[in-house]
């Protein structure tokens, strides 16, 4: 088992949801990993990439590639940022470019948090306990680009006290989509409300995801509607005792 | 600054009846598909998709070859092939045929390609009567509307809307029973079929080794269109080719299931040429019009030419959470949903509706269901880059570009990034959870847009970076 | 330059292909034919047709089949196709059944006014409950299309497993017929409020009689 893992916490966790990042570190440490937090990390560059600013995305990607160069494993509390780094960095640079090769080398080392736990650390029970009725939201990039479907569910199934209920629209997008959420706010908000209807049908009081951006979107809409539901990052659930 | 696109979206969002209609109809099609492609009933589904993708790729990559093979085989069976660069060319061919055969009444079966080139309007402009015969298409033709959905053109209408238009156009009073409405259409259209001089169809597939046109439908109107009149004209985009009749074994299994969840649609017609010797019925003439109208242009980009693999099943629309909110008429062209979002900018230029490729959360549900595996999100991303490149050339949207340039500058300089994020956090009310509103000077642009729908998370009391440092590692 | 030349030129230019260059071999067609016993094929065929709201009969003899048809056509007008099989078993002799049309206008008029159209079928596809109709002097197109009721009488040995078997037996249908139509259940629409209505343009009632 590798001893040392680097974490890339993503800009959104750093600024808005640091507890998710701390929880991820806690879980990893409990499993015996020593954590390296490369200080120079900033953002994966996805906002620029998804907005069509390829040059700007390349600038940020080049930086991140350098920051993560020496890492054995990079663990990320986000499916979306993982997919940006493991799938799209390569596309940003022409095959001859040194950064293309750097991206190729980095790609297999980058793990979304739940996948790291189940595939590398090979644990499904991290000894967590949380008394709640919960439902799991599949974030789109984790589900469709990284094919992460079972890992978080298996981890949650082993959380004591947690009653996990599937929602009928688990795989439906929450409507965030980065700048989409503010370019088409009405559509984005409508998608969030549709998702929340599905959440409500489960009777869950906690919505869990592996992406903080989805949770921000959902919690924002839940809060606006004044509903008694909280959102939690998977790492926060797994760190609970 | 709101565009027509934005305004149409808002109008759809604020119509609860329409919202419900779209959501229910697409939801039903989704669940039908889900049952039909379940691995219990169709274990080879993924294999079929891979095969379909490979066959389409091969055909598109060698399209000129297959077009010529198709043409030879149509001629060999006594049919005719016409090549059309534009919609006008198509109309000219048909008008020529109509004139020399003294035709005045045309029956049409559903075809997105003819919708694309406004064929009915062009023909009517020249005094021909051209009647849509698919029930949904007939209704929207009476209403002078565009199809709302690739496979369910009248998805947005209720029986009351239909009663209204039947009253106005057919003089039928207050008939709101769907079954009766359908039978009224049957009677009116049956008469047209039996009197029509020409039948125009589209083509779901053009089969190169057979010189054949394959048509897929449920109502029987395509069969009537291609059997009853003396002349059958099929109008098809050049991308509709597949190499061999045997490939239909793959494509037919995918098309009905993906679109409506039917293992096979009610009718599949495989038509190759006019009636043969001693046949008692069937058309005496068989024409295929091969339409370019921008398709050759799409071939130029090796990454994006897969857009032409589309078999118009409609699955991407049904599964698109954005389509399910904004519906079909918000889209700028006849093709709506994810496939519309990727082909419209390629046909009409990214400048025509620069917002279109951005109207997606990039959730990927479309690519997940596409039977020919078109990587729609990837193409959307490419188109977004094309939009930004074009904006740069025309010095449009400078403010946004400045924001992203600054972002990239800062995000590639860790010290600066740390200072900037700290400053930004201090500006906001830290550690206050979700905010219902922010001070007026902040309530602008994206913040305002966010707050129009949702509460906004305040920056955390401490950033992760600060917390991590304090922990003393 | 003709439109044809211009289109082919642009296609080649944008694909980077030389005129007349032979393409690499296409992917092999995907044809898989499962082993299914005759009895299972019959059962599956009838089950699929019923699931589509079609009516079915497994006739042990030609006589049974004719009797079934006679019961449905009693007191009605019907048109039978020129399929020799229908004549052989005596369907064309039933009262009210017209057949033997060789003139298009007469055929059209008869089909447009008949209540029932009777045909055989070249094949049936068990997998999907499909009838395969190849147009020929024996099988005109309008018989299975214009009347509101379609009855098809199919010899049991004509039931194939599915599309793959059909296209493996007939890799080039165009060399045999100008029109091959697959019919899977009654004509239907759901264009208004997604409410299913049968018989919108084609027959709303379909009978499949399989004869041993
Ligand atoms: S893009 Fe794919 S899913 Fe969408 S209509 Fe075309 S074939 Fe169907």
Token pair listed for A16: 């808005």
Kindly give the residue spans of alpha helices, DSSP state H, lying in A11-83.
11-15, 18-30, 46-50, 54-67, 79-83
pTM, to two decimals: 0.97
d(CA B36, CA B31): 9
Say yes or no: A202 contacts chain B, CB-CB below 8 A: no
> Helix, strand or coil for residue A136?
strand
**A88: which DSSP letter?**
I
Cross-chain Cβ contact A173/B412 below 8 Å = no
Total domains, chain A: 2
Among residues C141, C133, C175, which one has the least CA distance to residue C158?
C133
B133 CA to middle of ligand 1, Å?
Answer: 24
What are the two backbone dihedrals, phi and then psi, of residue A162, each rounded to the nearest 5 degrees? Answer: -95, 125
Size of chain B in residues: 473
d(CA A107, CA B463): 27
Nearest CB to A182: which of B405, B407, B446?
B446
CB interface of B with C, residues 96-155, below 8 Å: 133-136, 139, 152-155
Span B234-254, average pLDDT: 98
Q: CB B156: neighbour CB atoms within 10 A?
A: 22
pLDDT of B1 strictly over 70: no
Q: Which helix (H) or strand (E) segment is A232 a member of?
A: strand A230-233
A172 and A85 part of one domain: no
CA dist B448 to B436, B439, B453, B455, Å? 11, 11, 9, 10
Nearest CB to C163: which of B220, B243, B249?
B249
**Domain assignment of residue B433, yes or no:** yes
In this structure, the residue with its CA closest to atom 6 of ligand 1 is B310
B246 and B110 part of one domain: yes
Say yes or no: A87 contacts chain B, CB-CB below 8 A: no
Q: What is the pLDDT of residue B429?
A: 80
B43 and B183 part of one domain: yes
**Domain assignment of residue B193, yes or no:** yes
A61 and A29 part of one domain: yes
Domain ends where: B248, B283, B306?
B306
Cross-chain Cβ contact B411/A14 below 8 Å = no
* Ligand 1 contacts CB of residue B359 (under 6 A): no
Q: B385-439: per-residue pLDDT in tens?
A: 999 999 999 999 999 999 999 999 999 999 999 999 988 888 878 888 999 999 8
Q: What distance lies between CA A201 and its chain's CA centroid?
A: 24
Residue in this structure with the two tokens 């990993």, named with its chain if needed: A33
Residue in this structure with the two tokens 């039931």, named with its chain if needed: C159
Cross-chain Cβ contact A42/B411 below 8 Å = yes
Q: What is the pLDDT of residue C138?
A: 96
Pocket test for ligand 1, best of B240, B313, B367 (most atoms within 8 A of CB): B313
Token pair listed for C56: 């079915």
For this complex, say whether ipTM is above 0.90.
Answer: yes
A131 and A235 part of one domain: yes
CA dist B90 to B94, B97, B117, B236, C53, Å? 6, 11, 9, 10, 40
Domain ends where: A119, A154, A172?
A119
Show the domain range for A189.
Answer: 125-239
Domain segments of chain C as ranges: 34-211
Position in ligand 1 atom list of the atom nearest CA B376: 1
A109 and A64 part of one domain: yes
Using alpha carbons only, what angle is made at residue C203 by residues C202 and C208, rounded to the nearest 5 degrees? 130
Q: What is the pLDDT of residue B432?
A: 85
Cross-chain Cβ contact B281/C140 below 8 Å = yes
Residue A115 · residue A210 · CB < 8 Å: no
d(CA B109, CA B361): 35
Say yes or no: A169 contacts chain B, CB-CB below 8 A: no
Residue A208 · residue A219 · CB < 8 Å: no
Residue A173 · residue B365 · CB < 8 Å: yes
Cross-chain Cβ contact C201/B211 below 8 Å = no
Give the CATH number of domain C34-211: 3.40.50.10420
Size of chain C in residues: 212
Domain ends where: B257, B290, B306?
B306
Residues in chain B within 8 Å Cβ distance of C168: 246
Say yes or no: A121 contacts chain B, CB-CB below 8 A: no
Q: Considering all CA atoms of chain C, what is the largest pairwise distance in Å, rounded to the nearest integer?
A: 67
d(CA C198, CA C207): 14
A133 and A170 part of one domain: yes
Cα-Cα-Cα-Cα dihedral of B410, B413, B418, B422, to 10°? -20
Q: What is the pLDDT of residue B262?
A: 97
User: CATH number of the domain that A162 lies in?
Assistant: 3.40.50.10700
* Ligand 1 contacts CB of residue B29 (under 6 A): no
Span C44-64, average pLDDT: 97
B121 and B245 part of one domain: yes
User: CATH number of the domain that B234 lies in?
Assistant: 3.40.50.10420
d(CA B230, CA B101): 10
d(CA B12, CA A184): 13
Beta bridge partners of A164: A134
pLDDT of B349 strictly over 70: yes
What are the two backbone dihedrals, phi and then psi, of residue B80, each rounded to the nearest 5 degrees? Answer: -125, 145
Q: B99-125: per-residue pLDDT in tens?
A: 999 999 999 999 999 999 999 999 999
Residue from B139, B160, B182, B196 to probe the interface with C (highest C Cβ count within 10 Å): B182
B103 and B236 part of one domain: yes
Say yes or no: B221 contacts chain C, CB-CB below 8 A: yes
Say yes or no: B314 contacts chain C, CB-CB below 8 A: no
CA dist B273 to B210, B214, C131, C175, C176, Å? 10, 12, 21, 10, 11
Domain ends where: B253, B286, B306?
B306
**Domain assignment of residue B205, yes or no:** yes
A54 and A159 part of one domain: no
Show the domain range for B419.
Answer: 413-471
Q: Do A and B touch, counting CB pairs below 8 Å (3 needed)?
A: yes
Residues in chain C within 8 Å Cβ distance of B136: 189, 191-192
d(CA B348, CA B339): 14
Among residues B412, B423, B410, B436, which one has the least CA distance to residue B463?
B423
C188 CA to middle of ligand 1, Å?
Answer: 23
Indicate the pairing of strand B198-201 with strand B231-237. parallel
Q: What is the pLDDT of residue B472?
A: 72
CB interface of B with C, residues 329-358, below 8 Å: none
> Helix, strand or coil for residue A55?
helix
pLDDT (tens place) for every residue of chain A, 241 residues total: 558 999 999 999 999 999 999 999 999 999 999 999 999 999 999 999 999 999 999 999 999 999 999 999 999 999 999 999 999 999 999 999 999 999 999 999 999 999 999 999 999 999 999 999 999 999 999 999 999 999 999 999 999 999 999 999 999 999 999 999 999 999 999 999 999 999 999 999 999 999 999 999 999 999 999 999 999 999 999 999 9
**Domain assignment of residue B293, yes or no:** yes
Say yes or no: B273 contacts chain C, CB-CB below 8 A: yes
Q: CB C50: neighbour CB atoms within 10 A?
A: 14
Beta bridge partners of B285: B231
Cross-chain Cβ contact A176/B361 below 8 Å = yes
Total domains, chain B: 2
A50 and A129 part of one domain: no
In this structure, the residue with its CA closest to atom 8 of ligand 1 is B313
Residue in this structure with the two tokens 């419209």, named with its chain if needed: B344
Three-state SS for C74-130 is CCCCEEECCCHHHHHHCHHHCCCEECCCCCHHHHHHHHHHCCEEEECCCEEECCCCE
Cross-chain Cβ contact A176/B452 below 8 Å = no
> Helix, strand or coil for residue C55?
strand
Q: Which helix (H) or strand (E) segment is A123 a member of?
A: none
pLDDT of B473 strictly over 70: no
Helix B178-195 vs helix C104-113: crossing angle, to nearest 10 = 170
What phi-psi label fits residue B78: left (phi over 0), alpha (psi between -120 and 50 degrees) or beta? left
**Domain assignment of residue B324, yes or no:** no
A17 and A73 part of one domain: yes
Domain ends where: A75, A99, A119?
A119
Residue B250 · residue B55 · CB < 8 Å: yes
**Domain assignment of residue B141, yes or no:** yes
Domain ends where: A74, A93, A119?
A119
A106 and A13 part of one domain: yes
Residue in this structure with the two tokens 């059962």, named with its chain if needed: C43
Beta bridge partners of C149: C116, C205
Residue A118 · residue A154 · CB < 8 Å: yes
Range with lowest mean pLDDT among A191-195, B91-95, B459-463: B459-463
Q: CB B284: neighbour CB atoms within 10 A?
A: 14
pLDDT of B348 strictly over 80: yes
> Helix, strand or coil for residue B278?
coil
B306 CA to middle of ligand 1, Å?
Answer: 11
A12 and A68 part of one domain: yes
Q: B142-186: per-residue pLDDT in tens?
A: 999 999 999 999 999 999 999 999 999 999 999 999 999 999 999
**Domain assignment of residue B345, yes or no:** no
Residue C202 · residue C187 · CB < 8 Å: yes
Interface B–C counts its CB contacts (< 8 A) at 265
Span B285-291, average pLDDT: 98
Q: DSSP string spanning B51-76?
A: HHHHHHHHHHHTHHHHHHHHHHHHHH
User: CATH number of the domain that A110 lies in?
Assistant: 3.40.50
A92 and A148 part of one domain: no
Q: What percent of chain C has pLDDT over 70?
A: 100
Span B20-40, average pLDDT: 96
CA dist B469 to A220, A227, C71, Å? 29, 35, 90
């Amino acid at each position: 088992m590798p001893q040392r893992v680097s974490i890339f916490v993503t800009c959104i966790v750093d600024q808005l949801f640091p507890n998710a990042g701390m929880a991820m570190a806690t879980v990893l440490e409990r499993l015996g990993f020593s954590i390296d937090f490369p200080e120079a990390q900033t953002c994966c560059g996805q906002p620029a990439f998804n907005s069509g600013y390829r040059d700007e995305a390349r600038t940020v990607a080049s930086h991140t590639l350098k920051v993560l160069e020496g890492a054995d494993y990079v663990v990320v509390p986000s499916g979306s940022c993982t997919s940006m780094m493991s799938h799209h960095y390569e596309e940003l640079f022409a095959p001859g470019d040194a950064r293309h090769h750097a991206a190729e080398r980095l790609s297999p080392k980058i793990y979304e948090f739940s996948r790291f736990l189940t595939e590398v650390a090979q644990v499904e029970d991290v000894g967590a306990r949380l008394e709640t009725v919960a439902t799991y939201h599949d974030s789109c990039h984790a589900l469709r680009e990284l094919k992460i479907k079972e890992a978080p569910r298996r981890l949650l199934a082993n959380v004591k006290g947690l009653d996990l209920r599937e929602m009928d629209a688990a795989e439906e997008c929450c409507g965030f989509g980065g700048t989409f959420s503010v370019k088409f706010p009405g559509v984005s908000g409508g998608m969030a409300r549709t998702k929340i209807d599905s959440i409500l049908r489960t009777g869950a009081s906690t919505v869990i995801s592996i992406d903080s951006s989805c949770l921000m979107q959902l919690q924002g809409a839940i809060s606006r509607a004044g509903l008694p539901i909280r959102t939690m990052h998977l790492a926060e659930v797994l760190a609970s005792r | 600054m709101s565009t027509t696109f934005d305004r149409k979206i808002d109008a759809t969002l604020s119509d609860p009846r329409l919202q419900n209609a779209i959501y229910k109809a697409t939801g039903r099609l989704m669940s039908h598909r889900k049952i039909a492609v379940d691995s219990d009933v169709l274990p080879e589904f993924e294999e079929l998709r891979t095969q379909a993708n490979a066959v389409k790729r091969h055909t598109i990559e060698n399209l000129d070859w297959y077009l010529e093979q198709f043409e030879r085989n149509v001629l060999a069976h006594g049919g005719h092939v016409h090549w059309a660069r534009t919609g006008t060319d198509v109309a000219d061919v048909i008008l020529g045929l109509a004139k020399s055969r003294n035709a005045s009444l045309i029956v049409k079966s559903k075809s997105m390609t003819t919708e694309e080139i406004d064929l009915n309007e062009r023909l009517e402009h020249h005094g021909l009567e051209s009647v849509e015969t698919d029930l949904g298409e007939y209704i929207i033709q009476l209403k002078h509307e565009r199809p709302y959905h690739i496979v369910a053109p009248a998805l947005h209408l209720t029986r009351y809307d239909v009663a209204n238009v039947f009253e106005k156009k057919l003089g039928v009073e207050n008939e709101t029973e769907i079954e009766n409405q359908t039978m009224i259409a049957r009677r009116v259209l049956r008469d047209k079929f039996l009197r029509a001089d020409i039948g125009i169809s589209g083509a779901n597939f053009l089969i190169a080794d057979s010189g054949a046109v394959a048509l897929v439908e449920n109502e029987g109107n395509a069969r009537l269109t291609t059997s009853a009149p003396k002349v059958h004209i099929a109008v098809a985009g050049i991308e509709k080719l597949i190499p061999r009749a045997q490939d239909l074994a793959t494509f037919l299994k995918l098309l009905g299931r993906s679109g409506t969840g039917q293992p096979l649609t009610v009718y599949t017609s495989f038509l190759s040429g006019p009636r043969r010797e001693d046949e008692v019925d069937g058309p005496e003439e068989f024409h295929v019009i091969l339409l370019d109208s921008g398709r050759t242009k799409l071939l130029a980009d090796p990454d994006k030419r897969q857009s032409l693999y589309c078999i118009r099943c409609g699955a991407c629309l049904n599964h698109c959470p954005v389509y399910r909110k904004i519906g079909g008429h918000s889209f700028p062209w006849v093709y709506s949903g994810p496939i519309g979002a990727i082909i419209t900018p390629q046909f009409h230029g990214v400048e025509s509706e620069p917002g279109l490729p951005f109207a997606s959360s990039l959730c990927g549900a479309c690519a997940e269901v596409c039977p020919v595996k078109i990587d729609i999100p990837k193409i959307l991303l490419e188109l977004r880059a094309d939009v930004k490149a074009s904006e740069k050339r025309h010095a449009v949207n400078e403010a946004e570009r400045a924001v992203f340039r600054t972002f990239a500058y800062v995000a590639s300089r860790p010290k600066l990034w740390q200072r900037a994020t700290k400053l930004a956090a201090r500006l906001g009310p830290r550690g206050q959870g979700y905010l219902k509103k922010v001070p007026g000077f902040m309530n602008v642009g994206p913040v305002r847009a966010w707050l129009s729908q949702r509460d906004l998370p305040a920056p955390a009391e401490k950033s992760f970076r600060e917390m991590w440092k304090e922990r003393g590692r | 330059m003709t439109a044809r030349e211009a289109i082919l030129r642009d296609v080649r230019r944008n694909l980077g292909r030389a005129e007349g260059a032979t393409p690499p071999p296409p992917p092999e067609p995907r044809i898989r034919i499962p082993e299914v016993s005759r009895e299972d094929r019959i059962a599956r065929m009838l089950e699929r047709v019923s699931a589509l709201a079609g009516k079915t009969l497994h006739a042990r003899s030609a006589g049974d089949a004719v009797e079934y048809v006679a019961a449905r056509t009693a007191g009605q007008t019907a048109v039978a196709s020129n399929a020799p099989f229908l004549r052989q078993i005596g369907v064309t002799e039933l009262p009210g059944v017209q057949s033997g049309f060789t003139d298009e206008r007469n055929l059209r008029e008869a089909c447009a006014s008949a209540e029932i159209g009777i045909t055989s079928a070249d094949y049936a596809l068990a997998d999907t409950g499909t009838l395969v109709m190849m147009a020929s002097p024996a099988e005109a197109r309008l018989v299975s299309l214009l009347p509101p009721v379609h009855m098809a009488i199919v010899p049991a040995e004509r039931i194939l497993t599915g599309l793959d078997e059909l296209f493996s037996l007939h890799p080039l249908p165009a060399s045999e017929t100008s029109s091959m139509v697959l019919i899977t259940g009654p004509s239907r629409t759901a264009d208004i409020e997604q409410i299913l209505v049968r018989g919108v343009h084609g027959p709303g009632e379909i009978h499949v009689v399989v004869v041993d």
